[in-house]
Amino acid sequence: MSLIEQLTALGADGLASIAAADSAAALDAARVDLLGKKGRLTGILRGLGALPADERPAVGAAANRVRTAIEDALTTRKAALDAAALDAQLAAGTLDITLPGRARPIGAQHLISRIRDEIVEVFCGIGYTVAEGPEVELDFYNFTALNHEPQHPARSASDTFYVVDRSTDAETWTGPEPSDVLMRTHTSPVQIRTMEHTKPPIYILAPGKVYRRDVPDPTHLPQFTQMEGLVVDRDVTFADLRGTLDYLCREIFGSQVRTRFRPHFFPFTEPSAEVDVSCNVCGGTGCRTCKGTGWIEILGCGMVDPNVFAAVGLDPEEWSGFAFGLGIDRIAALRYDLPDIRMLVEGDMRFLRQF
Amino acid sequence: MKVSLNWMKELLPGLAAFTADLPALCDRLDMTGTGVEGITNTGAALDRVVVGQITDKVKHPNADTLWVTTVDVGQDEPLQIVCGAQNFNAGDKVPVALVGASLPNGVTIKKSKLRGEVSCGMNCSARELGLGDDADGILILPEDAPVGMAFGDYRGISDTILDLEITPNRPDCLSMRGLAREFSTVLGIDDAVLPPVQVNEVGGSIHDAATVTVAEPELCPRYTARLIRNVKIGPSPAWLAERVQAAGARSINNVVDITNYIMFLTGQPLHAFDYDRIAKGDDGRAQVIIRRAHAGETITTLDDQLRRLTPANQLITDPSGPITLAGVMGAENTEVKDDTVNIFLEAAVFQPEITSRTSRGFALLSEASLRYERGVDIEQVLDAQTRACALMAELCGGEVAPDVIDVYPTVHQRPTITLRGSRVQALIGERIARETCEAMLTGLGLTVQAAPTPKAFDVTIPAFRPDLTREVDLIEELLRLHGMERIQATMPRTAHAGGLSPRQRLRARLETVLRAGGLNETMTLPFADPADGERFGLTDENAGAAARLHNPMASDASELRRLLITNLLHSVALNLSRGTRNVALYEVGAVFTATEGRKQPKEAEHIAAVLTGSWDKTRWNEPERALDFYDAKGILELVVRELAVNRFQLKVADPARLPFLQPGRAADIVIAGQTVGFIGELHPALAAQLEIDQPVAVLEFATKPLLAAARDSRGFVEPSRFPGIDLDIALVVDESVQAGTLVERLLSAGKKTPLARVRLFDVYRGAGIAEGKKSLALTLSYRAQDRTLTAQEIEPIHERIVQKAAASVGAELRS
């Protein structure tokens, strides 16, 4: 067998062994067998020098062809084996993407705070700031400065929580109520505190907890969360109050909502009104939520009473203003149809985590 | 206030045009300030019951005891009705329930077949209509009963009762008379005119029979009395009973019903005394004195309760003592009874405040006390008195004695208010025509005259509108009658900036971090149980004195909370009791402490958190791990990081100060040297008392000092672009050595060297480590800003640092 024939046979055999290699190791063995230091092709190539000079070019060219073919086959086969190995590895690594993700569970905001923040945002957008005040108040701020008559029923110890006065005043106290220190019954005292220390124009919102002596039941709690609004400026009118609350109601309940202002009475505003929004459940045709009226009462409001201005030393001829108050718990109860508002203060994780 | 529309239509004939569309009427009332809270139709159960006439009567072909009747009910075709009664004849008028009628006994009438004969209704007995017990046969009506008329209308038992919400500023609307005025104004119809009454006076003057003395006229500005002799107490006539029942009162007897009727009509409460049971003075005359109660005096009120009185109560008395709690409730000793002959009739005005306090103090709210609390029309007292006397004469056969006792020392002066057109527009934002204003005010019963100043009115206010004292009160009347709905909405015109304050924004961010840390916001009530104070070991020294309530709703809610975690831990117990073992809650809320000499308790906003169980038991790829101290600390560290809180540290707490925490697992949160709160694990003994059966980590701090320590930025160090070298060490130390101390010592020893960071990554106790010791494993990271560090360069430095630090805490390098 001539050397060229040998080379051709080796080439064919080598390509077959490369094609048969089914793993990186087998392929490497084939490479060593052919091209390694002691490889068969290497052996032949090494023997080239001993050939007669006239045979060398032909044999050399044949040897190079075979080597190139083998090297190409090795590269191709290696790529195929690598691709197959990667496929197998990827197949083995398939995840069940429905298994839960891995993070510490994020906490939920209380639904009352959520609604409070929503309303605060609406008003911050139209130039209001947020004012705060103490929850234990003095009669002056909670009632007297807000134009409540001395015998106003809300003052009675059956309606309002009174706190023990630890000052010397307590010894000389003769008022009909147990003291003049109380748990605020509304957020309106923040109006007075703000007007006392801030010069108009005033555009404030005062969210906060308030307290009344209601026995807890599915629709009552001794604590609820209110939102007070107060505007004092020059030339503020009832029409401005309407516009502002229309805006609020649309932002909170949607652009389709209609409002209606019913004249009412509050000691600290005159004129006063209650505001209804069209029922979001039935759209105003009447249903269980709105008790068939098509309307849901949502806030109380009015123009600041001149007596309130007098209590804080503002001239009602120079300044006018409006105030409004709404119950956040009520909006929460409406929005979520809560069967029992005591859930709001229980801290049941299953309840809290829904919001 | 319950308003019978039948009664109101009698007062206001023009109202009839509005009652057909009841929803529209109610809407008009709602939108002018008289809220309609309820509508009741009396006789509603008799809808679709009409007067019918039996035109033919034949035996039922298939039943001996039944009749097939033909009944004319005023429709085009007569009805065929099968009937089992025997007591009627063709031609009789009877009540017929039409198909669809729903009777008071619950029966609904349907078209049916009775033994093969069609029956389209039912001829009714009195019992079936709820009109009595007579079930023997059908109710035969008089011959003149109009065929086809609604039976309820025919019998006058159909009425619509509106339940109106009368706001406290409108005492005038607590009467039919006042409401008639309001209705006529808002509907634009003629106002009611009550016919004048005449009283025939008989016998001796009241002045020879009684005297009245008012001790404090400011508490009783007007007191009138009349004497009616020889009344016959008996049941009221049907019309009177119906009126007082429609208004919500019970019919008692003719005299009491008259006083109630006049009160509902005019708003003036009246009280009838049995004249003969009033004690007489030395001159033989009944001696009535209106005065404050003496301390300790008692009265037995009509509800048979002995009431102990104080000078804050006003009484009607006779020489023997109290005979009425003025304006609130009568006494048993002078009550009108069946054998009463002579009536001493009181119509008075009492001061709202003392009446209100007395009635509310004794929880004796009555129709009379309600009206006194709101204010009674002092100008109308005699008119009401006279009307009642006339009715007593008419309905009880009484003889009204001549003359009236009228103690009225200061006659009411009607105030006049100037109303400027400019103010109307300035307040409501719209102009209302002068003529419209004048018409509306006049309609309300006010007297309107042009004022000396241009574009203004002088408005004189009658006593029945005590709420109208200022110009703004008149503007309110104009606005509500004009219609708030008609005001075109605008927005305030001045430019003004708003938004949260920096502190409020910071607090919102703080809360976001708490939630990101896994805590759920909750809220609890601010009331605290004194027993909890004891359980938690709270003292005046460690928690401040508790602020107490005068009038708590329960003894376990008689204080204000000094800490938030007390109530939060009750929420933990509630969750556990409901099978929720993983609880992570936080609350932002006020806490209160009383200070001797201070009026109000000190109030501070706190933030507290409770953590128990594990983060998530549904973790499928990690072992469940119980939450502990370090989870709470981790959240606190998130806050410190996000708000860049300056000089934050935890310090081992004195157990006496935090007795509710497990000793050894309790720390003070210290910011800039000031203790602002605590963190730790709940004391197991306390947990057991609170019915909590697993460890709970808690933390609580005051918001204000924490936010005050927050920084806008923490400064900037340029990160090195060159790799550093991390070297791990393990040091064996006594248990008492804190990891934090060791880290501090290492950092301090590495000052002015490339040591950039020390991180603890393991704490080991057990095999190979002696009892009372622990091994702390740490990574020391070395970095240089300007070059890549080499091992040869760092190793000697590292050795020096470790040795110095180890020596300072008595540590041994673990090999």
List of E strands, B499-615: 520-521, 527-528, 559-560, 583-593, 602-612
Same domain, A88 and A121: no
Chain A 183-202, residues with CB within 8 Å of chain B CB atoms: 183, 201
Q: Which letter does DSSP use for residue B754 in this model?
A: S
Q: Which among B169, B429, B582 is the nearest to A237, CB-wise?
A: B429
B602 vs B545: CA distance, rounded Å: 10
Q: Which among A125, A261, A348 is the nearest to B484, CB-wise?
A: A261
**Chain B positions in Cβ-Cβ contact with residue A126 (cut-off 8 Å):** 491, 498
User: Which residues of chain B, if any, have pLDDT below 50?
Assistant: none
Same domain, A117 and A76: no
Same domain, A278 and A210: yes
Q: Is residue A153 domain-resident?
A: yes
Pick the closest to residue A188 from A173, A174, A203, A206 (CA basis): A206
Cβ contact B620–A344 (<8 Å)? no
From-to residues of CATH 2.40.50.140 in chain B? 45-155
Q: Which letter does DSSP use for residue B342 in this model?
A: -
For residue B495, the chain A residue with the least C-alpha distance is A127
B630 close to A (CB below 8 A): no
Two structure tokens written together for B814: 């673990």
**Chain B positions in Cβ-Cβ contact with residue A133 (cut-off 8 Å):** none
What's residue B45's pLDDT? 65
Cβ contact A134–B603 (<8 Å)? yes
Distance from CA of A234 to the nearest CA of B (A): 9
**Chain A positions in Cβ-Cβ contact with residue B580 (cut-off 8 Å):** 348-350
Q: Is residue A105 domain-resident?
A: no
Two structure tokens written together for A281: 């459940």
For residue B424, the chain A residue with the least C-alpha distance is A237
**Chain B positions in Cβ-Cβ contact with residue A176 (cut-off 8 Å):** 312, 357
A101 close to B (CB below 8 A): no
Number of residues in chain A: 355
B357 phi and psi, to 5 degrees? -65, -40
Topology of the domain comprising B2-43+159-187: Phenylalanyl-tRNA Synthetase; Chain B, domain 1 (3.30.56)
Question: How many structural domains does chain A have?
Answer: 2
User: Which residues of chain A, if any, have pLDDT below 50?
Assistant: none
What's residue A137's pLDDT? 97
What's residue A313's pLDDT? 95
B750 vs B794: CA distance, rounded Å: 11
* Residue among A169, A270, A301, A342 with most chain B CBs within 10 A, to mutate: A270
**Chain B positions in Cβ-Cβ contact with residue A349 (cut-off 8 Å):** 520, 575, 580, 582-585
**Chain B positions in Cβ-Cβ contact with residue A137 (cut-off 8 Å):** 600
Cβ contact B520–A108 (<8 Å)? yes
Distance from CA of A88 to the nearest CA of B (A): 24
Cβ contact B621–A102 (<8 Å)? yes
- CATH number of domain containing A219: 3.30.930.10
Q: Which among B356, B430, B575 is the nearest to A349, CB-wise?
A: B575
B616 close to A (CB below 8 A): yes
Q: State the helix-helix crossing angle for A56-92 and A40-47, rounded to 10 degrees.
A: 160
Q: Is residue A100 domain-resident?
A: no
Residues 6 or more apart whose CB falls under 8 angstroms from that of B552 comprise A161, B527, B558, B559
Neighbour tally for B382: CB within 10 Å: 16
Q: Which domain holds residue A228?
A: 111-352
Chain A 221-240, residues with CB within 8 Å of chain B CB atoms: 221-223, 231, 233-240
Chain B 361-420, residues with CB within 8 Å of chain A CB atoms: 363, 373
B593 phi and psi, to 5 degrees? -135, 140
What's residue B619's pLDDT? 67
pLDDT tens by residue, A99-116: 888 888 899 999 999 999
* Residue among B357, B482, B599, B610 with most chain A CBs within 10 A, to mutate: B599
**Chain B positions in Cβ-Cβ contact with residue A124 (cut-off 8 Å):** 498-500
Cβ contact B585–A349 (<8 Å)? yes
**Chain B positions in Cβ-Cβ contact with residue A243 (cut-off 8 Å):** 489-491
Q: Which among A113, A164, A347 is the nearest to B524, CB-wise?
A: A347
B604 close to A (CB below 8 A): no
B476 vs B304: CA distance, rounded Å: 45
For residue B488, the chain A residue with the least C-alpha distance is A239
What's residue A96's pLDDT? 87
Residues 6 or more apart whose CB falls under 8 angstroms from that of B579 comprise none
pTM exceeding the 0.90 threshold for the entire prediction: no
Q: Is residue A102 domain-resident?
A: no
Distance from CA of A331 to the nearest CA of B (A): 17
For residue A159, the chain B residue with the least C-alpha distance is B551
- For the domain spanning B45-155, the CATH number is 2.40.50.140
Same domain, A25 and A158: no
**Chain A positions in Cβ-Cβ contact with residue B568 (cut-off 8 Å):** 347
B549 close to A (CB below 8 A): yes
Residues 6 or more apart whose CB falls under 8 angstroms from that of B182 comprise B32, B34, B172, B173, B444
Topology of the domain comprising B502-708: BirA Bifunctional Protein; domain 2 (3.30.930)
Cβ contact A150–B353 (<8 Å)? yes
Output the 3-class SS for B34-99. Answer: CEEEEEEEECHHHCCEEEEEEEEEEECCCCCCCEEEEEECCCCCCEEEEECCCCCCCCCEEEEECC
Q: Give the domain-ending residue among A92, A125, A157.
A: A92
Q: Is residue A99 domain-resident?
A: no
Same domain, A79 and A124: no
Homologous superfamily (CATH) for B725-813: Ferrodoxin-fold anticodon-binding domain (3.30.70.380)
Same domain, A183 and A44: no
Same domain, A215 and A258: yes
Size of the A and B interface in Cβ pairs below 8 Å: 279
Same domain, A152 and A68: no
Distance from CA of A265 to the nearest CA of B (A): 6
B484 close to A (CB below 8 A): yes
Q: CA B561, B565, B568, B574 torsion: positive or negative?
A: negative
Same domain, A184 and A330: yes
Q: Give the domain-ending residue among A46, A62, A92.
A: A92
Distance from CA of B777 to the nearest CA of A (A): 26
A163 close to B (CB below 8 A): yes
Chain A 23-62, residues with CB within 8 Å of chain B CB atoms: none
- For the domain spanning B206-407, the CATH number is 3.50.40.10
A252 vs A66: CA distance, rounded Å: 82
What's residue B482's pLDDT? 94
Neighbour tally for B644: CB within 10 Å: 14
Q: Indicate the SS3 state at residue B720.
A: coil
B288 vs B315: CA distance, rounded Å: 10
Cβ contact A238–B594 (<8 Å)? no
Same domain, A198 and A268: yes
From-to residues of CATH 3.30.930.10 in chain B? 502-708
From-to residues of CATH 3.50.40.10 in chain B? 206-407
- For the domain spanning B416-482, the CATH number is 3.30.56.10
Cβ contact B515–A348 (<8 Å)? no
Across the beta sheet with B755-764, the strand order is B755-764, B773-782, B725-734, B812-813
**Using an 8 Å Cβ cutoff, are A230 and A270 in contact?**
no
What's residue B793's pLDDT? 93
Cβ contact B523–A162 (<8 Å)? no
B473 vs A306: CA distance, rounded Å: 10
Q: Is residue A303 domain-resident?
A: yes
**Using an 8 Å Cβ cutoff, are A157 and A215 in contact?**
no
Q: Is residue A104 domain-resident?
A: no
Two structure tokens written together for A73: 């086959």
Cβ contact B515–A106 (<8 Å)? yes
**Which contiguous run of DSSP H or E holds residue B696?**
strand B696-702
Chain A 237-296, residues with CB within 8 Å of chain B CB atoms: 237-240, 242-244, 246-247, 260-265, 270-273
Cβ contact A263–B590 (<8 Å)? no
What's residue B44's pLDDT? 66
What's residue A11's pLDDT? 87
Q: Is residue A171 domain-resident?
A: yes
Same domain, A43 and A137: no
Same domain, A87 and A124: no
What's residue B134's pLDDT? 63
pLDDT tens by residue, A279-306: 888 888 888 878 888 898 999 999 999 9
